[in-house]
Chain A
Amino acid sequence: MGYGRATSTEKLDPKVVQALAQRLGLKLSSEELKALTASLSNQLAAIKAIERFDLKHTVPVLRMDARWHE
């Protein structure tokens, strides 16, 4: 149930996701682990879309300022 467009055929190992979640202190039911494994696999694939254009010389937005500086 997300907004992202990326999908991945390379699914993560649920055990890896469970270990990460546990280390972070997240409690997951078995259904949640299954859903999170699928959504995380897709979400990690989003990086391909994000890095589709050359970002070599681009500095991240660290503080949002809507103005267009000349």
Chain B
Amino acid sequence: MNELTELAITEASELLARRSISAVDLAQATLRRIEETEPVVHAYATVLAEGALNAARQADAEIAEGRRRGPLHGIPVAVKDNMYTRGIPTEGGSRVLEDFVPAYDATVVDLLTKAGAVLMGKTVCHEFAYGVNEPPTRTPWDLTCYPGGSSIGSGVAVTVRSAFGALGSDTGGSIRIPAFINGIVGLKPTYGRVSSYGVLPLAWSLDHVGPLTRTVKDCALLLQAIAGRDPNDPNSADEPVPDFSADIEAGARGMRIGIEREYFFYEGVTDDVRLAVERVISEYAQQGAEIIEVKLPELEVTPDTLFTIMLAEASTYHRQMLREHGDRYDPATRANLQLGELIPATHYLSAQRARALFRSAMAALFKSQRLDAMLWPTMPLTTVPLADLYSPRKDGIAETPMVSYIHHTFSANLTGQPAISVPCGFSGSGLPIGFQLIGRPFAEATIFRLARAYEREHDWFTRKPAVKH
């Protein structure tokens, strides 16, 4: 009964609440889907079949006794393998952590479990979420192409329906890039909105944990379960957590959306991405949103600023491990870690100054233009063959595809603003395209509302790639 895995979380949740289906049905259908798809896409690092079935049985029993915990109770989910799971291997995609089994759960894993979600397994990620090695995971849209990263297995699992939702982490785009490439929804929440306790760090001041799902409403449900202050995480924010779904159907009318063209619609944006995102902008205007053209020249500093900070912070975290287990790192990760060690402290602090300047400019722009959100393509181009990722672009743009990808995602990590990637079509060659909405800090509800206003007029989220052996 694989039709069950076609359900959105919201739909499955209603059926579970009415006891029209059971959590065991859902878990078994998901396990069958994992069996069908894993030989091709390799989204999972660890599958927890027995644990998932036990959790599903417990969910069914509690729901039958009238003790339903909420909308995620009995829903099959997955988490990125950089998140600690008590008694379950957590290797962060690295031989350095081979056979490492944490003694406790990451806060987000604990919260998902408390919400009654059924953990199907741990998803593959790039080594320590750095995004530079080549894991075995493939995107079902084209098995020869870059599947996104570093929350690569989370993106693919949701796409092939081997998880209803998944958690990822995002330091420079690692939730939104796989969301774009795989045609699903991915949210990087506000910095501090979701605890990072028990999540392997890449760069402390840039790391965010967030959900990947098929629909915007599902994304809001997952965020609801994991958001909130965590005393174990010093970067966790003491901000109230609203009901993210309360106004999700309120529409776009009256909302003010900023469009910056010089940087986000530069010559590196391909025609099919440009056209798809221009259509989104027009549609918001038709729905009654105000489209405001804005300028933000400080955007030019974002790629080098973020990369300098990320390199230095990552190398600080890995300093000891690099000396003790240097040969166990992938050569590409090791090269970045070596580079980060040689960045002068003055360059790191200058980058943090540029970041402060950029954050001030962004805040001033939102305030002066009374913006609710900004909108731009999540990435300037669709995915490319893996072999081309670090070669100059074939369309004459003087940068590699990887540099183009992060060109559009780094800024929200620097400011800490919430950013969501939403599917908005396909290229001529059938590859997914998405757009990004960036909101005010802690205003995830606003970008969910806008994202949903677009999504409910389209059926992109129902498109499913064939997975062929």
Q: Which residues of A contact B (CB under 8 A)?
A: 1-6, 17, 20-21, 24-28, 32, 35-36, 39-40, 43-44, 46-47, 49-53, 55, 58-62, 64-68
Contacts and interface: CB of A to CB of B under 8 A. Distances in A.
Interface stretch (B10-18, B331-339, B451-459): B331-339
B356 A40 contact: no
Interface string B206-238: 100000000000000000000000000001010
B322 interface: yes
B82 interface: no
Contacts of A5: 303-304, 399, 403
Nearest to B189: A66
Contacts of A44: 344, 347
A5 B399 CA distance: 8
Given A24-B341, A53-B301, A64-B235, 17 more contacts: A3-B306, A3-B406, A4-B304, A28-B338, A32-B334, A32-B338, A36-B335, A43-B339, A46-B304, A50-B305, A52-B300, A59-B356, A64-B205, A66-B190, A66-B192, A68-B366, A68-B440
21 contacts: A1-B132, A2-B307, A4-B304, A6-B304, A21-B338, A28-B338, A49-B303, A50-B301, A50-B304, A50-B347, A51-B354, A53-B301, A53-B354, A58-B354, A58-B356, A60-B352, A64-B416, A65-B191, A66-B193, A68-B367, A68-B440
B363 interface: yes
Contacts of A4: 303-304, 307-308, 403
Would you list the 6 A-B pairs with minimal beta carbon distance, nearest first? A66-B416, A60-B352, A46-B304, A66-B191, A49-B304, A68-B363
Contact of B307 (A26, A46, A62): A46
Q: How large is the interface on B (under 10, 10 to 19, 20 to 34, 35 or more residues)?
A: 35 or more
A23 to B, nearest CB: 10
Contact of B192 (A1, A3, A26, A65): A65
Q: What secondary structure prevails in chain A residues at the interface with B?
A: loop
B402 interface: yes
A2 B354 contact: no
B359 A61 contact: yes
A41 B403 CA distance: 18
Contacts of B350: 47, 50-51, 55, 60
B298 interface: yes
B355 interface: yes
A64 to B, nearest CB: 4
Contacts of A47: 347, 350
A36 B403 CA distance: 19
A48 to B, nearest CB: 9
Contacts of B310: 3
B349 interface: yes
B259 to A, nearest CB: 21
B172 interface: yes
A37 B264 CA distance: 32
Contacts of B344: 44
Residue in A21, A44, A50 whose Cβ sees the most chain B Cβ within 10 Å: A50
Nearest to A47: B347
Nearest to A59: B356
A46 to B, nearest CB: 4
A67 B442 contact: yes
A59 B132 contact: no
Contacts of A40: 339, 342
A1 B441 CA distance: 32
Contacts of A25: 323
B357 interface: yes
B301 to A, nearest CB: 6
Contacts of A67: 237, 239, 441-442
A44 to B, nearest CB: 7
Nearest to B333: A1
Contacts of B335: 1, 32, 35-36, 39
A55 to B, nearest CB: 5
A5 B400 CA distance: 9
A20 B191 CA distance: 35
A55 B359 CA distance: 13
B440 A64 contact: no
B72 interface: no
Contacts of A1: 132, 332, 335-336, 390
B303 A58 contact: no
